[in-house]
Amino acid sequence: MSTIDQLFPASSIAGNTPAVHAAKKTLGQEDFMKLLVAQMNNQDPSNPADNGAFMAQMAQLSMVDGVTKLNTSFDSVAGSLAGTQAMQAANMVGHQVLTDSNVATLEEGKAVEGQLAVPELAAGLNIQVRDAAGSLIKTIPSADFKPGLVGFAWDGKNERGEVQAPGEYAINATALVNGHQQAVALQLYNTVQSVTTTPGTNAIELQLSGHQSVKFSQISQYR
């Protein structure tokens, strides 16, 4: 009779124990230890197994057990990190976050703010605000802007000083660099309306004003 037959006889997995047999789909550490001990007890005395082989099996078992524990530890850390991020994201509801975007939501009584990544040797820098129809509302002067990250604000008024209705507005910036007109990267502040978590991945997304959504990792600043 083989070692496996001695450890797991047919009578123990047939007949009245179908549920137990169905549940036992994989071998665990205890099962491997039983197999190893049975192999040692039932070896041929005239032809004993090589001690090196036993040691190799023990090393493999130890490695598998270590990897299993390491994976469990990583899962625990990932779950804890996701929980911490979810709490941080929840605390941002009602606050404004700075993200890569060209769409800003003008709120009543508030200005639209953001920052530009102004390139070196930039000249003729200007920021244009357009409404949902694409009409130019305001051009923000840029005489004092210097290379680097520069903050800017739009007070919500058009060229005639008239207050514009709350809603979504597109903001774009361009600069003349070495004689060529090029777009300038910008970021805008928008208010966090709610937080969602994707089932299975625990990915956290912030729902912003103006029907925008961003991942938690894409936030540069919040206030």
Q: How far apart are CA 128 and CA 118, in angstroms?
A: 15
Closest listed residue to residue 201, CA positions, set 215, 221, 220, 213: 215
Q: What is the DSSP letter of 14?
A: S
pLDDT tens readout for residues 134-157: 999 999 876 566 778 888 899 999
Whole-number Cα distances in Å, 211 to 149, 191, 200, 217: 27, 11, 24, 18
Please say if the pLDDT value at position 77 is more than 90.
no
166 vs 88 pLDDT, higher one:
166
pTM of the model: 0.57
Give me the pLDDT at residue 161, please.
Answer: 92
Could you give the residue ranges of the DSSP H alpha helices within the chain?
Answer: 3-7, 18-23, 29-41, 51-90
Instruction: Identify each DSSP E strand in the chain by its residue range.
Output: 96-100, 103-106, 112-118, 122-130, 136-140, 148-154, 167-177, 180-183, 186-197, 204-208, 212-215, 221-222
- Find tokens 């207050």 and name the residue: 163
pLDDT tens readout for residues 5-50: 544 455 444 445 444 454 555 555 666 667 667 766 766 666 665 5
CA dihedral 144, 148, 154, 155 (to 10 degrees): -70
Q: How far apart are CA 116 and CA 145, in angstroms?
A: 9
Q: How far apart are CA 121 and CA 148, in angstroms?
A: 11
pLDDT tens readout for residues 78-115: 455 556 766 777 777 888 888 888 888 898 888 999 99
Q: What is the DSSP letter of 190?
A: E
- What residue ranges define each of the domains in the chain, with the CATH number in brackets? 3-89 (no CATH), 96-222 (2.60.40.4070)
Give me the pLDDT at residue 176, please.
Answer: 81
